[in-house]
Amino acid sequence: MNVKVLLLSSLVAAGLCLPGTVGCGQPGTPQSASPKTEIALPAPKTEGEMSLEETLAKRRSIRQYQAQDLTLEQLGQLAWAAQGITNERGFRTAPSAGATYPLELYLLTKDGVFRYLPAGHKLQQLSDQNLRRELAAAALEQEWVRFAPLDIVITAVYERTRRRYRDRAERYVILEAGHVAENILLQAVALGLASVPVGAFSDEDVSKLLGLSPEEAPLYIIPVGVPE
């Protein structure tokens, strides 16, 4: 992905912090982060060549990928499937209890670490370092995390949901992470890609790697790539 061509102005944090959207939970940033910049993503497609039934039938956990970078269109489509805004009221592709939207989406590629911004359908670059090797180490040395051209990390800021639902919040947030993960897995199939959900990792190590605040917790790692 050539981020230089698509480089926009530096992030103005106050202008992006909207209720229930990225940034309001004040997530952290990776160490040695480059200045935060935004990358416009191509408009997501809402019609595809593969039916939902076919994606369900073809979905499998696949751990071997070709050494082929994903396109910006593919990155954007996967991010939109996970957390994209689908109407003028700000509702997203995955259901969220009370539309509290506690989840954050990070994309790790050879070009660095990016956070998905649903408002505006953009990526915010947090670092220009390739941290997939370190992410794999945090994931108990699962090599598919290291060699996948894309690793998607789903994190949660529980307080966004806890303010409304209190003791039920943890359950609702974890359920939402499952909704988002399934969207990613099925979208990958529709794009001719392979993926695998990974739940075995050190929360502490992943949090440190991504520079997460104490209020933000990693829930899922999903490697994605062209199947070998």
Report if residue 20 sits inside a domain: no
pLDDT band for 36, please (50, 70, 90 cuts).
Answer: confident
Report if residue 18 sits inside a domain: no
Give the whole-angstrom CA distance, residue 184 versus residue 180: 6
pTM of the model: 0.85
Q: Is residue 15 over pLDDT 50?
A: no
| Number of domains forming the structure of the chain | 1
Q: Is residue 21 over pLDDT 70?
A: no
Question: How many Å is the Cα radius of gyration of the chain?
Answer: 16
For residues 181-194, average pLDDT: 98
What is the share, in percent, of the chain residues with pLDDT greater than 90? 84
- Of residues 24, 27, 2, the one with CA closest to residue 15: 24
pLDDT tens digits, residue range 51-72? 999 999 999 999 999 999 999 9
Which CATH number belongs to the domain containing residue 105 in this structure?
Answer: 3.40.109.10
Report if residue 113 sits inside a domain: yes
Report if residue 7 sits inside a domain: no
pLDDT band for 30, please (50, 70, 90 cuts).
Answer: low
The boundaries of the domain holding residue 77 are: 29-42+49-225
The residues, any chain, with a CB within 8 Å of residue 204's CB and separated by 6 or more, are none
What mean pLDDT is reported for the chain? 89
Report if residue 87 sits inside a domain: yes
pLDDT at 28: 56
Report if residue 1 sits inside a domain: no
pLDDT tens digits, residue range 87-124? 999 999 999 999 999 999 999 999 999 999 999 999 99
Between helices 72-83 and 169-190, what is the axis angle to 10°?
A: 150
pLDDT band for 35, please (50, 70, 90 cuts).
Answer: low
Report if residue 55 sits inside a domain: yes
Report if residue 61 sits inside a domain: yes
For residues 171-186, average pLDDT: 98
> ∠ at Cα 218 (81, 98), nearest 5°?
55
- DSSP designation for 167: G
